[in-house]
Chain A
Amino acid sequence: MPRMIRSLAIVLVLLAAAQAWAAGERDVTIAQGIDAEFLDVQMTNNIVTLIINGSIYDTLLTRDKSLAIQPRLATSYKLVGDRMWEVKLRRGVQFHNGEPFDAEAVKFSVERIQRPDFKSPQKGWFSTIERVEIVDAATVRFHTKVPDPAMPARMTLMYQMAPKYVAQVGDAQANLKPVGTGPFKFVEWQKNERIVVEANDAHWTGKPAIRRATWRPIPELGARIAALQTGQADLIVNVPPDQLPMLAATKSVRVEKIPSCRIISFQIAQIKGGPLADKRVRQALNYAVDMQGILDAVLLGNGKRINSWMPPNVWGHDPSIPFYEYDPKKAKELLAAAGQTNLTLTLQAPNGRWAMDKDIAQAVAGQLTENGIKTNVKIIGEWGAYVRSILDHKTEDIAMAGWCLPSLEPDHWVTPNLKTGEAVSQYSNPEVDKLMDQARAEMNPDKRKQLYSQLLRVIRDEAPYIFGYQQMDIYGVNKRLKWTPRGDESIRLTEIGF
C-alpha cells in the first residue's frame, strides 16, 4: 500500500511538472535596463515605459513594422478643413473592465493630458489641439490651433484611457491598476522587480500567441546577459557590440539587430560665436572625421552613417543627399580659407548613455587632433548635469547628442534641435527657421516632403553637426521565440510568436 501511494505521488508530481512546463511554454520574460515609471501611460514619455504600456493600452493609430501609419482604434481619418481632422472609431471595442470605447473616451483622454493640474510630460505632443468635438459615438473631430500635418503621427501616441474607470478609482489607482483596451491585461507590478501581463483573448485583433509576459528590469548588463543565457529571460535589450561573441557562444540564443530611429551626432555650438559661427569651419570638422572608420573600429560596424539630421526610417528623409566623405586635405583648405589654422576645441560626451559613447567621442577627438584641430575631450558622466549644460546653452564647443522621439514625425527631429531659441538647439539661422516653419505647416504631403528634402540639404551644407550615425539596436533572443526587432526601439508582444 505505501508503495502504491508513493507511485501515485510520483505520477502526480510529474503531471504537475508537465502542466507547469506546458503553461510556461508560451510565457515570455523580457529584460530591459529599467522599470516602468508609470502604468498610467499618460504620465510618461520614457521609451521603456511606453513599450510596456503599449501592451496594455491601444492608440488611435499605430505604426507597422515598416513604421508606416496604420489604423488601430481609429479605422480611418481625413482632413476636413485646414485645421480639422475627422476620425472614425472602431466599434464594439471594450476596455478590460467592460467599459465601452467610444468618442467620449477619446475626448477624455486628450483633455486629461491638457488639464493644467495634470503633470503629464505628453502635453507637448498634443499642444496643437484646440478642442475635441464629438460628432457621434464613433466619430470625433480634432480642431487644431494651426494647420498640423503631424496629426496622424500624434494619433499614434494617443493612448486611450477608460473615462469611467479613471473617474471612479482616481489617478493614483489608475496608475497602479491600469485598464486599457490593449491585447494584454495587467496582472501585477512589483516595483523594480517585475510587471506581469496576460493575454486579452477578447482583443479585436484576436488571441495573442503569448499567454503571459513578464517585464523585468535588470540594470546591470552582465546580469542581463546571464539571465538570457540561463533561460531566466527570453529577450534582452541594449547588447553592446563587444558582447556579441559571448552571446554567439550560447546555443539557445540568437542575436537580432536593426538600425534604429535614434541618431547620434556631434552638435556644434554655433550660437557661441567665434570660429564655430563660420560654416567653413563646421564643414571642415565634418571632413576631418572618418566616421565610417570609427564605426567599424569602435562599434564593430554596428552603426549606419547619416547624411543629415534625420534617420532613414523617418518620413521626410532624403537618401539622395551626399555624405561628408573623409577628406583631411579639404578640411585643411577650408580651415585656411576661414583663417582658422590654429584651432583648439573641447568636445563633451556622456559615459554610458549610448553604446560605447565615450570611446566614439575619444576617437572623433583623436582624428580631429590628428588633422590639425586640437580637440580635448570632457566626459560628463552624470546625465542630469549633461542635459543641463545643453538646456542652459552652456555646452562645450562640440557636444555628443542622440535623438529619437516615438512620434517619428520629421518636425520633431529638426525643430527642437535646430530652431532659433529652442531648448536643445545650439544653432540659429533664419533661413533654416523659415524652412522648418513652412514644412511643419504644409498640408500637402508631396510638397511637404520636398520641403524636408530642401531643408535637410541646407542643414547638411550648414553643418550644425559633425554628422554621425544611426544607432544599431541589438537584442539577445532565446531561439524558441519567433521575433524580429522594429526600427522604433519598441517591442510589441503581439509581434512575438513561437
Chain B
Amino acid sequence: MVGYVGRRLLQSLGVLLGVSVIVFGLLHLTGDPTRLLLPLEAREEDVRQLRALLGLDDPLWVQYGRFLARAVRGDFGLSFKHQVPALALIFQTLPATLQLTAAGLGLALVVAVPAGILSALKRNSLLDALCSVGVLLGQAMPVYWLGLLLIMVFAVGLGWFPAAGRDGWTSIVLPATALGAFSMARIARMARSGMLEVLAQDYVRTARAAGIRTFVVTYKYALKNAAIPLVTIIGLEFGILLGGAVITETIFAWPGVGRLAVDAIFSRDYPLVQAIVAVLATLFVVINLVIDLVYTYLDPRIVYVRSAR
C-alpha cells in the first residue's frame, strides 16, 4: 500500500512537471506582456525598462529554469499585474472557490443520489420519468443561462437571495445551484444506472430469497456496490467543478480563483497563471489519489499489487 502511494506520488510529480512545461510554453507563445501592462501611449523606453525588470529579456529556457527552481520552494514570483506574490493571491481567493465547489457538489449529491436510487427502485414510475426530465434539463442548460434565470426568478422576482457577491450564507445558494446542476444530472444518471445493474445481480436476488428485508438489501448490499462508479464520478466532478467554476463565479461576482485566472490570462500575467494552474493541477491529482484509496475501502477485492501488468 505504502509502495503504491509512493509510486502514485512520483507519477503525480511527473504529471505536474508536464503541466508546467505546457503552460509555460503556451503562455510565452502568446507574446510579450509588457505592452499590455503599460498604457497604450507609453514610451518605448518605459517598455524596455519594464521588460528588463520582469526578467523577460532572458532566453526562454533560463526563464523556465528560474520558474521551476522557485516553484519547488513554493515561490511562484510576483504577479505582473498586482505586484504581490502570486501564491498569496491564490490563497486569498481559493477558499471562496472551494466553498462554492463543495456547496455545488454537496447540493448535487443530496439531490442526485436519492433521486437516482429512487428512480432505479421505482423504475418506469412517474417519479422515474420526472427524474429523467430533470436530468435532461440539468445537462442541457448552459450554466450562464441557468445562472441568469436563477437571478431573475429568485433575486429580482422573489427577492429571496442576493443577485451577486459573497455576503453570508444566502449568497451561495444561487451560484451553488447553477454550478451543481450539471453534476446533479450526471450523478443522478450514474446512480440510477449503477443501482439498476446491481439490483439485477444474483447476490441481490439471493439476499431477497433469503428473506432479508428490502431496505437492508437495498442500502447495505446494493448501494455499497453501486457506489464505486459513483465515487469515481464524484471525484472527477469535484475537479471539473473546481475548474469550471469560472463562468459561475463571473456571473455571480463570486470572488474565487476562476475569476482570478480569467483576469490573469487576459492580462498575460504569466506568474499568476502558472501558479493557478500548478495549484489546481495539484488539487486535481490529490483528489484522484484519494479516490483510488477510497476504492480499497469500498471494495476490499481491489488491491494494489506491485506488478499489476
Show the binding face of A for B, using Cβ within 8 Å.
Answer: 31, 34, 37-38, 43, 45, 116-117, 119, 121, 123-124, 127, 171-172, 175, 190-194, 216-220, 222-224, 226-227, 229-230, 232, 382-384, 387-388, 390-391, 405, 412, 415-416, 422-424
* A123 to B42 Cα, complex, angstroms: 8
Closest 4 CB pairs of A and B: A192-B255, A226-B163, A416-B41, A193-B255
A232-B53 Cα distance, complex, nearest whole Å: 42
Residue of A nearest to B267 (CB): A384
Determine the residue in chain B with the shortest Cβ distance to A229. B156
A304-B89 Cα distance, complex, nearest whole Å = 42
Q: Which residues of B contact A384 (CB under 8 A)?
A: 30-31, 36, 266-268
Instruction: Mark interface residues in B49-90 (1 if CB within 8 Å of A CB, else 0).
Output: 110010000000000000000000000000001111000010
State which of A171, A191, A219, A390 has its C-beta within 8 Å of the C-beta of B253: A219
**B144-184 residues at the A interface, CB under 8 angstroms:** 148, 151-152, 155-156, 159, 162-166
Q: Are A226 and B166 in contact (CB under 8 A)?
A: no
**Minimum Cβ distance to chain B for residue A348 (Å):** 16
Does B40 sit within 8 A of A, measured CB to CB? Answer: yes
Identify which of B50, B82, B163, B268 contacts A37 (C-beta below 8 A). B82
| Most chain B beta carbons < 10 A, residue from A223, A388, A405 | A223
B36 contacts A121, CB within 8 Å? no
The answer on a CB contact under 8 Å between A218 and B164 is yes
Q: In the complex, are the beta carbons of B253 and A124 less than 8 A apart?
A: no
Contact B49 A226 (CB under 8 A): no
Taking A227-B165, A416-B41, A424-B40 as known contacts, 4 extra A-B pairs with beta carbons closer than 8 A to each other, sorted by chain A number, are A171-B83, A220-B164, A222-B251, A423-B41
Cα distance, A171 to B78, chains bound together (Å): 13
Shortest distance in angstroms between B101's beta carbon and chain A's nearest beta carbon?
16
Could you pull out 17 A-B pairs where Cβ atoms are within 8 angstroms? A190-B255, A192-B259, A220-B252, A222-B151, A222-B152, A223-B151, A226-B151, A227-B165, A230-B156, A230-B159, A230-B163, A232-B163, A384-B36, A388-B36, A416-B41, A422-B41, A423-B44
Q: Are B83 and A412 in contact (CB under 8 A)?
A: no
Hey, which chain A residues are within 8 Å of B50, CB to CB? Answer: 119
Cα–Cα distance between A232 and B190 once the two chains are bound (Å): 39
Q: Does B196 reach chain A (CB closer than 8 Å)?
A: no
Question: How many angstroms from the CA of A192 to the CA of B100 in the assembled complex?
Answer: 15
Shortest Cβ distance from residue A116 to the other chain B in the assembled complex, whole angstroms = 6
Contact of B83 among A117, A119, A382, A383 (CB under 8 A): A119
* A residues less than 8 Å from B159 (CB atoms): 230
Q: Which of A117, A123, A219, A416 contacts B46 (CB 8 A)?
A: A123
Q: State in angstroms the CA–CA spacing of A175 and B82 once bound together.
A: 10
- CB A150 to nearest CB in B, in angstroms, measures 13
B41 adjacent to A424 (CB under 8 Å): yes
CB within 8 Å for A223 and B253 given contacts A124-B46, A383-B266, A388-B35: yes
> CB distance A121 to B151 under 8 Å?
no
A232 to B162 CA separation, bound complex (whole angstroms): 7
Asked whether A226 lies within 8 Å of B259 as measured between CB atoms, the reply is no
B282 within 8 A of partner (CB): no
Question: How far, in Å, is A119 (CB) from chain B's closest CB?
Answer: 6
Residues on A with beta carbons closer than 8 Å to the beta carbon of B84: 172, 175
- Nearest CB on A from B37, distance (A): 7
- CB pair A124 B162 closer than 8 Å: no
Q: Are B30 and A191 in contact (CB under 8 A)?
A: no
Q: Is B83 touching A38 in the complex (CB atoms < 8 A)?
A: yes
Please give me the residue from chain B that is nearest to A384 by CB atom. Answer: B36
Cβ A226 vs Cβ B156 within 8 A:
yes
Chain A: which residue is nearest B44 at the CB level?
A423
Compute how far the CA of A424 lies from the CA of B43 in the bound complex, rounded to whole angstroms.
11
Query: Would you give the 0/1 interface string for B16-56, flagging 1 where the beta carbon is closer than 8 Å to chain A?
Result: 00000000000000110001111111111010011001000
A37 with B30, Cβ < 8 A, contacts A124-B41, A223-B164 known:
no
Contact of B38 with A175 in the complex, beta carbons under 8 Å: no
Complex CA distance for A227 and B152, rounded to whole angstroms: 10
CA distance in complex: A423, B43 (Å): 8
Given the interface pairs A124-B39, A382-B266, A384-B268, the reply to whether A226 lies near B251 with Cβ below 8 Å is no
Q: In the complex, A192→B81 CA distance in Å? A: 14
A121 to chain B: which residues have CB within 8 Å?
A: 37-39, 42
Q: Are A391 and B93 in contact (CB under 8 A)?
A: no
The answer to whether the Cβ of B139 comes within 8 Å of any Cβ in the partner chain is no
B126 to chain A, nearest CB (A): 35
Contact between chains at B152 and A220 (CB < 8 Å): no
Tell which of B38, B41, B156, B256 has the most Cβ of chain A within 10 Å: B41
Closest residue of chain A to B84 (Cβ to Cβ) is A172
* B residues near A382, Cβ cutoff 8 Å: 266
Q: Which residues of A contact B166 (CB under 8 A)?
A: 193
Q: Please, which residue of chain B has its CB at the minimum distance from the CB of A417? A: B41
Contact between A38 and B165, CB atoms less than 8 A apart: no
Among residues of B, the one whose C-beta sits closest to the C-beta of A416 is B41
Residues of B within 8 A of A116 (CB): 49
Query: B260 interface residue, CB < 8 Å from A?
Result: yes
Interchain CA distance A412-B43 in the complex, whole Å: 13
Q: Does B225 contact A (CB under 8 A)?
A: no
